[in-house]
Chain A
């Protein structure tokens, strides 16, 4: 373990990017980070809104046309090493918005899964995933941050 990885382990900043899902995963992420019952901040994992400060990017939900460019920009702004976590069934496989369509065949309003837009490291399934699962996913992104030169 190098000095760099020890220092990084003690200050993990997570950024939540709201890409246009249904709000369910979004609230569960805030619940897992901030609320007193789950409280990730006690393990020195902080929720931030500044992409230049962040290490882990959480993307809950499908990506809409309007949020496509902001997502790419924010991904580029985050300094290396970085990890991207896709939270929820919408971000992993498109959920009902992509797979349960009627006469139109293909839903062209959304980009799903998130993998098609930016590279994803960790996937958390569930509609919505429980806060315990979100905490586990955020932890699984850590080795990438630690192992970087």
Chain B
């Protein structure tokens, strides 16, 4: 994206700038639309407003303590950051994880997938201007916020995974299993009502369909992952290769249209698949211990772990020195790779549809702002294309 801009050297005079504090934006970011007769010719997203220097905080902390910070990277997908950070050391030092702990980790992960997708609907419908659907999705979301509180003790930061398993307080007992089953059943009937109402509404669907096209070639070129890539016809899901997801039976939603409607519908259908996984976990939860405490922090080489989150692929990686202190922490969140796809999807549409298109890619900009380069005494934020070029995408 960046390189093309430099080679073309095209000058577009009219610029429309949003942010960082603007009614339509939930998070602080700045968008620049270069418009020609109200048609977007180019788009640029600036994400450096929430830079907090998280990766540097990890340096030199003992590993058990440092993983508390990993959960605070993001407030929407908090559990998966905690999970992936413990997966790195489990893979690097070969720590065995009990099967029961893996099941409960997946359970909390799927709870948060549902809350994240329902928050996405709330945000997308609010941008679209349909307040009723936004309110209904916020009301449905409360079911799973409650379940997260029952399992983890906190609505947003459940802190379930620790090294070698899960926290013993997050273990499921019979009464909690019963509550989860009841809530999931009640949620499913309400959610299907909501979904039928939304899909059959001609007003909403005519607003969504036909805008924000992202072709499969573009999705592959800009490394769009997760539902954003899958709704453009790229049949790929990391969950198929993760060992934690081997016991479960579910479908991966792939749509071929590649417009804004497909991105909304693919997330709507993924919630139903998550419900399938939750039912299988509650039914087939194996007995046994939930945590393996027999491990010692020692020297570990630089290890990488990938997890499929709600927006795409998440990478955590670090190494340990002799004393068990963390060195070289690196995080790559899915929004970084999806940003270029968002910029591409806006081009060629009317400027009023651009924010809806960006919202439909589900941006989470707080967790992706963290790479800064100091060059010639001046600091600047690295762009997504540079990050991919320097650190590479998945092998």
A interface with B by C-beta (< 8 Å)? 17-28, 30-31, 34-37, 49, 62, 64-67, 70, 74, 95-97, 100-104, 107-110, 127-128, 130
Cα-based distance from A133 to B58 in the complex (angstroms)? 31
Whether B65 pairs with A97 at a CB distance below 8 angstroms is no
By beta carbon, the residue of chain B nearest A22 is B75
**What are 16 residue pairs bridging A and B, where the CB atoms are less than 8 Å apart in the complex?**
A18-B21, A19-B28, A20-B49, A22-B73, A23-B76, A24-B78, A26-B27, A27-B76, A34-B138, A35-B135, A35-B139, A37-B142, A66-B48, A96-B68, A103-B60, A130-B155
Main secondary structure of the interface of B (DSSP, over half): loop
Whether B27 pairs with A18 at a CB distance below 8 angstroms is yes
Whether B57 pairs with A24 at a CB distance below 8 angstroms is no
By beta carbon, the residue of chain A nearest B27 is A18
Cα-based distance from A35 to B141 in the complex (angstroms)? 10
Whether a CB of chain A sits under 8 angstroms from the CB of B20 is yes
Whether a CB of chain A sits under 8 angstroms from the CB of B23 is yes
Whether B60 pairs with A109 at a CB distance below 8 angstroms is no
| Chain B residues with CB under 8 A of A65 | 51
| Chain B residues with CB under 8 A of A26 | 26-27, 75
| Chain B residues with CB under 8 A of A19 | 28
Given A34-B138, A96-B68, A103-B59, decide whether A20 and B52 contact each other with a Cβ distance below 8 A: yes
By beta carbon, the residue of chain B nearest A23 is B75
- A17, A18, A22, A95 — which one has the most chain B CB atoms within 10 A of its CB? A22
Whether A100 pairs with B69 at a CB distance below 8 angstroms is yes
Q: Number of contacts between A and B (CB, 8 Å)? A: 129
Give the size range of B's interface with the partner.
Answer: 35 or more
**Out of A36, A70, A130, which one reaches B139, CB within 8 Å?**
A36
A78 smallest CB distance to B (angstroms): 13
Cα-based distance from A31 to B135 in the complex (angstroms)? 10
Cα-based distance from A22 to B370 in the complex (angstroms)? 12
**Out of B20, B22, B155, B366, which one reaches A128, CB within 8 Å?**
B155
| Chain B residues with CB under 8 A of A128 | 75, 155-157
| Chain B residues with CB under 8 A of A20 | 28, 49-52, 366
Cα-based distance from A102 to B53 in the complex (angstroms)? 12
Given A27-B75, A31-B138, A36-B138, decide whether A104 and B56 contact each other with a Cβ distance below 8 A: yes
Cα-based distance from A36 to B65 in the complex (angstroms)? 38
By beta carbon, the residue of chain A nearest B364 is A23
B319 smallest CB distance to A (angstroms): 14
Whether A25 pairs with B21 at a CB distance below 8 angstroms is no
| Chain A residues with CB under 8 A of B119 | 27
Whether a CB of chain A sits under 8 angstroms from the CB of B242 is no
**Out of B75, B78, B154, which one reaches A21, CB within 8 Å?**
B75
Whether A102 pairs with B61 at a CB distance below 8 angstroms is yes
Contact with A along B122-139 (1 / 0, CB 8 A): 000000000000010011
Whether a CB of chain A sits under 8 angstroms from the CB of B54 is yes
Whether A109 pairs with B21 at a CB distance below 8 angstroms is no
**Which residues of B142-169 are within 8 A (CB) of A?**
142, 154-157
Whether A110 pairs with B49 at a CB distance below 8 angstroms is no
By beta carbon, the residue of chain B nearest A108 is B53
Whether B48 pairs with A22 at a CB distance below 8 angstroms is no
| Chain B residues with CB under 8 A of A31 | 138
Whether B28 pairs with A109 at a CB distance below 8 angstroms is no
| Chain B residues with CB under 8 A of A30 | 26
Whether A110 pairs with B53 at a CB distance below 8 angstroms is yes
A46 smallest CB distance to B (angstroms): 13
Given A18-B27, A96-B68, decide whether A24 and B157 contact each other with a Cβ distance below 8 A: yes
Q: Which 5 A-B pairs have the closest CB atoms?
A: A24-B75, A23-B75, A103-B60, A102-B60, A109-B53
| Chain A residues with CB under 8 A of B73 | 22
| Chain A residues with CB under 8 A of B154 | 127
| Chain A residues with CB under 8 A of B26 | 18, 26, 30
B294 smallest CB distance to A (angstroms): 26
| Chain B residues with CB under 8 A of A95 | 72
| Chain B residues with CB under 8 A of A127 | 72, 154, 157
Whether a CB of chain A sits under 8 angstroms from the CB of B66 is yes
Whether A104 pairs with B57 at a CB distance below 8 angstroms is yes
Cα-based distance from A49 to B23 in the complex (angstroms)? 6
**Which residues of B163-201 are within 8 A (CB) of A?**
none
| Chain B residues with CB under 8 A of A104 | 56-57, 59
**Which residues of B74-121 are within 8 A (CB) of A?**
74-76, 78, 119
**Out of B21, B50, B58, which one reaches A64, CB within 8 Å?**
B50
By beta carbon, the residue of chain B nearest A48 is B23
